[in-house]
Structure 1
Amino acid sequence: MRTLLYMATALSVLGLAFWAYQENYATQQALKDTRSLQRQIGAAQARLTVLRAEWAYLNRPNRLRELAELNFDRLGLLPLRPDQFGRVDEIAYPPSELEFENGVVVSTLNAGREP
């Protein structure tokens, strides 16, 4: 009976050692994958920073104005002027098709006060 107990204990110790060995290598692989992903994220953030700087450089108003002047014959682009914009009251809105009956007037004039 004692030998059976020793054998079971030895087998369980060997099984646990094998499990711990596999978990150790799985953990090392997960750490390696994490470091690789962090490097990729860092490289992507650096590329994004460069792209944002390039975008800001290419969208300088002076540069865009010069490009519009250079390509006027081909594109017909004109510089923006304040008189090219309309006022809000000049916009023709479609007529409202909704008619409300027994409407309720809502006011915040006395909000927070006791009646």
Structure 2
Amino acid sequence: MRSLIYVVTAMAVIGLAFWAYRENYETQAALSESEHLSREIGRAHERLAVLKAEWAYLNRPERLRDLTEINFDRLGLLPFRPEQFGQVDQIAYPQPDRVDVSDPVDITSAGADQG
């Protein structure tokens, strides 16, 4: 009987050791993947910062003004003037649709006094 307990205990220890070994390698693989993704996210943030800087550089008002002057024959773009802008109270908002009720229906709750 004692030898059976020793064998079962030894098998349990071997099984737990094998499980711990696999968990250790899966954890290391997950950490490695996490570090890889973190580096990739960092590179994406750097690329985004560069793209934002390029966008800001390309959209400088003086550059756009020069481009409109160069391409005036093709585009016909003119600079904005203050009198081209309106005020909020000049905006015509659409009116809501009106519902014409020609035959009204009297609605009362069931069993209530109709007095």
What is the total number of aligned residue pairs between the two structures?
Answer: 99
Structure 2 unaligned residues grouped into runs of 5+: 100-115
Residue 68 of structure 1 aligns to a residue whose secondary structure is: helix
- Identity within the alignment, %: 65
Per-residue CA deviation, residues 79-105 of structure 1 (Å, 9 max, x unaligned), is: 011011123333334445559xxxxxx
Rounded Cα–Cα distance in structure 2 between residues aligned with 1:3 and 1:89:
95
Residue 106 of structure 1 corresponds to none
Superposition TM-score, scaled by structure 2 size: 0.79
Residue 71 of structure 1 corresponds to 71
Per-residue CA deviation, residues 20-77 of structure 1 (Å, 9 max, x unaligned), is: 1101110110011011000000000000110111111011010111111111110111
Rounded Cα–Cα distance in structure 1 between residues aligned with 2:28 and 2:55:
40
Residue 48 of structure 1 corresponds to 48
Rounded Cα–Cα distance in structure 2 between residues aligned with 1:9 and 1:89:
86
Superposition TM-score, scaled by structure 1 size: 0.79
Structure 1 unaligned residues grouped into runs of 5+: 100-115
